[in-house]
Chain A
Amino acid sequence: MTQPNRIAGGQIDRTRTLRFTFDGIPYTGHPGDTLASALLANGVRLMGRSFKYHRPRGPISAGSEEPNALVELRSGARQEPNTRATVAELFDGLEAKSQNRWPSLRLDAMAINDRLNAFFTAGFYYKTFMWPRSFWERVYEPMIRRAAGLGSVSREEDPDAYDKGFLHCDLLVIGAGPAGLMAALTAGRAGRRVILADEDFRMGGRLNAETFAIGNTAGADWAAATVAELASMPHVRLMTRTAVIGAFDHGIYGAVERVSDHLAVPPPGKPRQILWRIYSQRAILAGGATERPIAFANNDRPGIMLAGALRAYANRWGVAAGQRVAVFTNNDDGLRTAADLKAKGVEVVAVIDSRKGEVVIDTRGRLGLKAITIRDGAGRTRSFSVEALGVSGGWNPNVNIHSHHRARPVWDAAIAAFVPGPEGPPGLLVAGAAAGVLSTHGALRTGCDAARAALDLTGAAPDLPQAEDAPVRISPLWHVDHGRGRAWIDQQNDVTVKDVKLAKQENFTSVEHLKRYTTLGMATDQGKTGNVIGLAIMAELTGRSIPETGTTIYRPPYTPVALGTLAGRSRGKEFKPYRLTPSHYWAQEQGAVFVEVGMWLRTQWIPKAGETEWRQSVDREVLATRKSVGICDVTTLGKIDIQGTDAGAFLDRVYANTFSTLPVGKCRYGLMLREDGIVFDDGTTARLGEHEYVMTTTTANAVAVFRHLEFCRQCLWPEMDVQLISTTEAWAQFSVAGPNARKLLEKVVDQDISDAAFPYMAAGNITVCGGLRARLFRISFSGELAYEIAVPTRYGDALLREMLARGAEFDPIVYGTEALGVMRVEKGHVAGGELNGQSTALNMGLGRMVSKKKDSIGMVLSQREGLTDPEGYRLVGVKPVDRNGKLTAGSHFLEKGAAPVAANDLGWLTSKVYSPHLGHDIALGYLKAGDRRIGQRMRAVNLLSGQDTEVEILSPHMFDPEGERLRG
């Protein structure tokens, strides 16, 4: 296979040939090629279609600013829509497809839009599709949505992995062109830690695309030598294929390294890309400049590209985009393209210099440029047959990252472009073309100066090598008035000069209105080539200056970033870490079903052989517990060790009820409010010593409660003698409940735990199994005679096995969170559904626990009228009148016969279970004035399912209301 447009030279490895396909057609290229350079070498100019008009398009650039040459790269689950062919590194076997066309790139049916362009002006959709009203969602919008977008998503899981990481340095240099290289060299030679990052796979920036000399070597060779010197410095990190995407606060930069994108697939275990957070108090933006085109009629044909890109393809990649070319420029830099191409033996048929009054006024060639028409200073027109046209409208410094903190760039009339202003992210300096210094020598000088300034380097500045230092000679030209066709500004979104004119006509003259109304700059290139032209034209139309017209806001990321990269490893099962309980491995052996509770995996129930429905398992666990004894892993409850001579006084402040009076060796249920008087959390707290308490929290609030206690300790009462430490994971804790709980525990506990020795609400340090330190609390969530026993976590598994083995005569079972839930609802204990952050102690029937005799968090504001309304919600128990009736948590209470409207809404069911003991569904609920409705009948209605059940309102204590069992 030949590459007809491949010419001599370039930084490609011609000794190796890479095979690839585009739209199924095989081509070849070489290492060092991009997909775009390789396609151009093969004579392929047509690479894409535009968004709105489906105009045939080829690349206009040789970099990440590319709006046109977007392809679907790779296939299957790795399909990557909207990939810029101009930066996609060629690899053997690369597959690419064109997008946004049907049935084919050359013959795209949707190109009908181009014929109808007179109707599809900026914002036309805001003015139509309104009649008839029902047609919008049924007809018009589906039509619009079908046409939306460019590339398509695979819908399969991305098979590649992504990493994240953190880097620190003294100086981050963004961009490895002459300015960046010089900055890194200056800092590196001074011994500072430097990171030099460049989005390209080859460092050197424009030096690779130009024929300039630095000193007495070619610019590209100087770059390579400089890179080699930097690579020899251990404190310098060179990062190619690494785009800095944003400047965030306080010297944190985001950067994306494309580790494996130049390979067919990443090596096993290796990531596709890495998101680096780079911490650097000093950084230098040396991101260069982006050339901008000039708008003229039909300036969007494949083969028309930026003059600098045309020369980059020739110099760096050895590719002539066409055999016959022309150049259209308003500045000296465009002339370099003509000179370089001529030197490469390409036929340059015309150089159109607008400064001489010459302009291009039209072009021809539907699928690729065939000819241009020019008009000279005297008004004469001529046509030339060409395959490529290089256009240069001047260069825009890449101020983007410098503006990420919303600093506005300032207008520099000398180069007719915006340059970074005095404000910007603290610590970020700008050098080289990014600073508006467009010569090579200027880049070297400002790169060196910036590094010295950033790092406060003293001593004489080094001698800089000789380099090109031509002045910028430009006479701004934004669009050519002559000519009849549309003149594109934003090629991808098909925004043309006439759209800007319409925006002006309709008074969308603010630059933000211009952008939003016409979609200028909203395409995947974010207007890197087109924005300034658009606002310059608006400035002309409104009679304002360009700086008065201003720019829109620059936002991260500098170049689009794969979402997988930003997520890193946190996806799938690794989205969040797991927390496993001490009995997890035992439960796994038993075939337990687990449930996510926050990060924890808890045993939900443990099916036994023959059980086919989860209810069978749960009912069995409940009944066995209530009949004999059950064990439940409650390690997930938060445990906080609270010590100090003021520990008791501290607890009095943070709990609504009193703890300073709790005797040593006892525990008490505690209710914790937020300062706004709403219940925050609950749990039991035990006093293990004069100055030592251990608090338990709910599983969900363990972290928040600890944080809150630290706030109280450090910010509110800093002189209290209180020390806090979490011990949640240090102890494996099991609830042992049921009539035989004591008998079972007596098999493992070394001490006397008779009712007399260890009465209800006793707590203390004990030993088990012959001397292992442990803690025992006689508390009950289930309503049974119950204890919680804790041992150091490593012994938790063994203690569980030991209890089951030694207590085998009692047929102990291990129950999960479902059975736990059943028993607590039977007892009317509040939990998740009731502790909803919206309910007061009064709502829960615990109003009397809020002591007014002492100051505590939330005490005062809990007394507000809205929170003490006698008609407000109260916790109630609920059962169906017909014992076969079904209840659903979340159903609302309605009176019998009441219409299902909000005015009749009396409350809702917070938690529902099936009570195997009672033989029917039961629930807890918040009911308006519920305390006065005990015994009444009403309905629990679930309008989502149509369930409508007559219920009786009960006290929430539906099982053993006198509490005889737990004291047994």
Chain B
Amino acid sequence: MRYSGFRVIAEALTGHRGWKPVWRDPAPQAEYDYVIVGGGGHGLATAYYLAKEFRQSRIAVLEKGWLGGGNVGRNTTIIRSNYLLDGNEPFYEFSLKLWEGLEQELNYNAMVSQRGIINLIHTDAQRDAFTRRGNAMILHGADARLLSRDEVRRMYPWLNFDNARFPIKGALMQPRGGTVRHDAVAWGYARAADQRGVDLIQNCEVTGMRIEQGRIRGVETTRGFIGARKVGVAVAGSSSKVMAHAGMRLPIESHVLQAFVTEGLKPFIDGVITFGAGHFYISQSDKGGLVFGGDIDGYNSYAQRGNLPVIEDVAEGGMALMPAIGRVRLLRIWGGIMDMSMDGSPIIDRTPIEGLYFNGGWCYGGFKATPASGWCFAHLLARDEPHPTARAYRFDRFLKGLMIDEKGQGATPNLH
């Protein structure tokens, strides 16, 4: 069924009896052409684009819990394409363009809201680095502006301009950056994929992979064996666990990232603000809560929960930047498991096992990548060659010395 304002009104007048399930609950079939492991944003988008853009069929998405229950349902909802390096920027810009048409594409309002993102500058060296980055963004067709201190002040007069340990000296802004209602992304892709015949199978955990003569034959699951011509794994956070079923070790560590939301407040933060002298970024949701985050906890973890030091560190950054939020109350803290890769950039690649494909290593940049990740992974699965914007996301880049290291931290996953 198509969603629209007219439909909402019509249903309201007839007691909402006409709304249909947003997705079916099919039983798994014995075999598919494509099995996507992971019913998060990336997996659902992959299935959708496989069906829609690449005209494939016989597709299933296997989700161990509930659809959208991974990091797509536990992030800070920011979208942007303000990357520096050639390996990244085209991909994220492609993603941002897909976000811009997503609602019409999916006929689902995920509230893509481009209210702008600023990265604050506190030192001359940061200004130089952001100038380099802003230029790289424009060279790749993205939008960027360098703001003076006064321009930032006009935008957000209540930031700490007058009593700061690290004074604000300006900002790099991407006006097209913004936020998206995260759960709706998963639901929108799920609904659209379901409508194109993709089987979305919840409560179906992959427990093994059947590999014969170097070729994938299917996956063992808690709901039995499911045969597959091709298997795409998109389970960021659990990548090492799932790929271990295929005997692979990855250039990835799992780390916990905490995120935060306050009680609902009348609007006062329009866009997204990233503090350049502490670990803190923030936006305000359409519901009024301040949504913010900071650094990962820094140790390997699959626990989906974190500890006080990072909570305090994030709050300190928040108060240093916005002394007006001292009396605002933190409502909820949650933790997601990040695939922290060795250079801070993702992997979308074939594996040594024929028919087995991998998508992961998103660090904490996975949400904004959702549409492009799905598209590029579908491209790889359907055509067996990388999408032009995702060509650099190879496993062998570490062997060849072609790292995509935005932060320049080297093979130290918890510093990316």
- The interface-forming segment of B224-232, B316-324, B353-361 is B316-324
Contact B113 A572, beta carbon cutoff 8 Å: no
**Contact status of A150 and B264, CB under 8 A, knowing A127-B3, A127-B4, A506-B20:** yes
B-contacting 9-mer, from A438-446, A861-869, A956-964: A861-869
The answer on a CB contact under 8 Å between B268 and A153 is yes
Contacts A510-B202, A944-B145 given: A902-B90 contact, CB under 8 Å? yes
Could you tell me the distance between the alpha carbons of A572 and B165 in the complex, rounded to whole angstroms? 6
Interface residues on B, range: 35 or more
User: Of residues 212 to 248 in B, which have CB atoms within 8 Å of A's CB atoms?
Assistant: none
**A128-B109, A150-B265, A568-B312 are known contacts. Are A676 and B411 too (CB-CB below 8 A)?**
yes
Indicate if the CB atoms of B328 and A866 lie closer than 8 Å: no
Q: Among A126, A128, A837, A900, find the residue whose CB has the most chain B CB atoms closer than 10 A.
A: A126
Q: Which residue of B lies closest to A836 (CB)?
A: B408
B18 nearest in chain A by CB position: A505
CB of B27 closer than 8 Å to a CB of A: no
A interface residues, how many (CB within 8 angstroms):
123
A513 touches which one: B66, B318, B329, B332 (CB < 8 A)? B66
**Contact B265 A149, beta carbon cutoff 8 Å:** yes
B405 near A943: Cβ-Cβ < 8 Å: no
**Is B131 interfacial (CB 8 A cutoff)?**
yes
Is B154 an interface residue, CB under 8 A from the partner?
Answer: no
Chain B residues with CB under 8 A of A402: none
Interchain CB contact (< 8 A) of A910 among B128, B314, B403: B128
* B86–A902 CB distance below 8 A: yes
By the criterion CB–CB under 8 Å, are B305 and A404 in contact? yes
Least CB distance from A502 to B in Å reads 6
Give A51 to B265 CA distance when docked, in angstroms: 11
Q: Assuming the A-B contacts A153-B266, A564-B319, are A575 and B324 also in contact, with contact meaning beta carbons closer than 8 angstroms in the complex?
A: no
A512-B69, A837-B408 in contact; A153/B22 too (CB < 8 A)?
no
| Structural contact, A677 and B401, CB atoms closer than 8 A | yes
Is there an interface contact between A944 and B134, defined as CB atoms closer than 8 Å?
yes
The contact of A566 among B104, B115, B315, B400, by CB within 8 Å, is B315
- Contact A126:B3 (CB < 8 A) given known A148-B287, A560-B330: yes
Whether B397 is near chain A, meaning CB under 8 Å from some CB there, is yes
Is B410's CB under 8 angstroms from A837's CB?
yes
Q: Which of A555-611 contact B (CB under 8 A)?
A: 555-557, 560-568, 570-576, 595-597
A560 and B304 contact, CB distance less than 8 A = no
Given contacts A121-B16, A526-B331, A555-B334, contact A890 B129 (CB under 8 A): yes
Which of A126, A596, A909 is the one whose CB lies under 8 Å from B184?
A126
Pair A890/B127 contact, Cβ less than 8 Å: yes
Q: Are B287's CB and A908's CB within 8 A?
A: no
Q: Mark A892-908, 1 if CB is under 8 A from B, else 0.
A: 10000000111011001
Tell whether, in the assembled complex, residue A148 and residue B266 are in contact, meaning their CB atoms are under 8 Å apart.
yes
Chain A CB within 8 A of B249 CB? no
Cβ–Cβ < 8 Å partners of B184 in chain A: 126
Fill in one digit per residue for B191-222: 1 if any A CB lies within 8 Å of its CB, else 0.
00000000000100000000000000000000
Interface string of A942-968 (1 = CB under 8 A from B): 111100000000000000000000000
A894's nearest neighbour on chain B, judged by CB, is B139
Q: Name the A residues within 8 Å of B410 (CB-CB).
A: 674-676, 678, 680, 837
Q: Is the CB of A576 within 8 A of B262?
A: no
Q: Taking CB as reference atom, which chain A residue is nearest B122?
A: A596
Assess whether A348 is interfacial by the CB under 8 Å rule.
no
Within 8 A of B (CB), among A770-813: none
Stretch at the interface among B28-36, B40-48, B156-164, B372-380: B156-164
A126-B109, A127-B7 known; A80 and B327 CB under 8 Å?
A: yes
Instruction: Tell me whether A506 and B22 are in contact (CB under 8 A).
Output: yes
Does B395 lie at the interface of the complex (its beta carbon under 8 Å from any beta carbon of A)?
A: no
Mask: chain B, 1-14; 1 = CB below 8 Å from A; 0 = not: 00111011100110
Contact partner, B332, options A555, A595, A677, Cβ 8 Å: A555
Cβ of A148 and Cβ of B403 under 8 Å apart? no
Chain B proximity of A117: nearest CB distance (Å): 9
Chain A: which residue is nearest B289 at the CB level? Answer: A149
With A406-B305, A864-B401 as given contacts, are A158 and B268 in contact (CB-CB < 8 Å)? no
Q: Looking across the interface, which residue of chain A has its beta carbon closest to that of B343?
A: A676
- A363 CA to B117 CA in the complex, in Å? 48
Judge if A917 is at the interface, Cβ distance under 8 Å: no
Partner of B135 from the list A162, A553, A567, A891 (CB cut-off 8 Å) is: A891
Which residues on the B side are within 8 Å of A944 (C-beta)? 131, 134-135, 138, 144-146
Structural contact, B135 and A890, CB atoms closer than 8 A: yes
Q: Which of A247-265 contact B (CB under 8 A)?
A: 248-249, 252, 254
Question: Is A129 among interface residues, defined by CB-CB distance under 8 A?
Answer: yes
Q: Is the CB of B265 within 8 A of A152?
A: yes
- In the assembled complex, the CB of A356 is this many whole angstroms from the nearest CB of chain B, namely 32
Q: How far does the alpha carbon of A363 sit from the alpha carbon of B183 in the complex, in Å?
A: 36
Which residues on A sit within 8 Å (CB–CB) of B286? 141, 144-145, 148
Q: In angstroms, how far is the closest chain A Cβ from the Cβ of B286?
A: 5
Does residue A848 face the partner (Cβ distance < 8 Å to B)? Answer: no
Decide if A152 touches B164 in the complex (CB within 8 Å): no
The answer to whether B16 and A502 touch across the interface, beta carbons within 8 angstroms, is: yes
Distance of A867 Cα from B7 Cα, bound (Å): 58
User: Who on chain A is nearest to B311 by CB?
Assistant: A566
- Asked whether A311 is an interface residue with its Cβ less than 8 Å from the other chain, the reply is no
Asked if A892 and B128 sit within 8 Å, CB to CB, the answer is no
B288 contacts A149, C-beta separation under 8 Å: yes
Across the interface, do B123 and A406 meet the contact criterion of CB distance under 8 Å? no
A119 contacts which chain B residues (CB < 8 A)?
8-9, 12
Q: Which residue of A lies closest to B146 (CB)?
A: A944
The distance in angstroms between the C-alpha atoms of A156 and B160, with both chains bound, is: 10
Q: Determine if A563 and B330 form an interchain contact, defined as CB atoms under 8 angstroms apart.
A: yes
**Residue A157, interface by CB 8 Å:** yes
- CA gap between A148 and B140 in the complex, in Å: 36
The interface residues of chain B lying within 8 Å CB-to-CB of A908 are 132, 135-136
B166 at the interface (CB under 8 A from A): yes
Chain B: CB-nearest residue to A831? B125
> Which chain B residues lie closer than 8 Å to A118 at the CB level?
12-13
Task: Please report the C-alpha to C-alpha distance between residue A867 and residue B402 in the assembled complex, in whole angstroms.
Answer: 7
- The complex places the Cα of A574 from the Cα of B272 at a distance, in Å, of 25
Report the separation of the CA atoms of residues A558 and B206 in the bound assembly, to the nearest whole angstrom.
34
Contact of A505 with B303 at beta-carbon distance under 8 Å, contacts A150-B264, A561-B329, A571-B316 already known: no
Closest to B268 in A: A153
Q: Are B25's CB and A507's CB within 8 A? A: yes
Given contacts A563-B329, A943-B134, A944-B135, contact A130 B104 (CB under 8 A): yes
Residue among B65, B103, B113, B312 making CB contact with A567, cutoff 8 Å: B312
Verify if A888 is at the interface (C-beta below 8 Å from B): yes
Q: Is the CB of B5 within 8 A of A557?
A: no
Question: What string of 1s and 0s marks CB contacts (under 8 Å) between A129-147 and chain B?
Answer: 1110100110001001110
- Return chain A residues, CB-CB under 8 Å to B7: 127-128
Cβ-defined contact, B131 with A151, below 8 A: no
The smallest beta-carbon distance between B177 and chain A, in angstroms, is: 13
Q: Are the C-beta atoms of B326 and A160 separated by less than 8 Å? A: yes
Tell me if A853 is interfacial: C-beta within 8 Å of chain B: no
Whether A121 lies near B264 (C-beta < 8 A) is no
User: Which residues from B are CB-within-8-Å of A570?
Assistant: 316, 319-320
Find chain B residues with CB under 8 A from A892 CB: 132, 135-136, 139
How far does the alpha carbon of A676 sit from the alpha carbon of B122 in the complex, in Å? 29
Judged by a CB distance under 8 angstroms, whether B108 is at the interface is yes
Q: Are B104 and A133 in contact (CB under 8 A)?
A: yes
CA distance A128 to B12 in the complex (A): 13
Of A162, A676, A678, the most chain B CB neighbours within 10 A belong to A676
Tell me the smallest distance from the CB of B322 to a CB of chain A, in Å: 9
Task: From the candidates B89, B263, B304, name the one contacting A524 in the complex (CB within 8 A).
Answer: B263
B103–A133 touching, CB < 8 Å: yes
Q: A130-B109, A891-B132 are in contact. List 9 more A-B contacts (CB 8 A).
A: A51-B264, A125-B111, A126-B181, A128-B8, A141-B111, A502-B16, A837-B405, A861-B401, A905-B139
A-B contact pairs, 6 of them (CB 8 A): A127-B108, A153-B324, A677-B401, A833-B128, A865-B400, A942-B131
In order of increasing CB-CB distance, the 6 nearest A-B pairs are: A837-B408, A890-B131, A149-B288, A158-B326, A864-B401, A564-B326
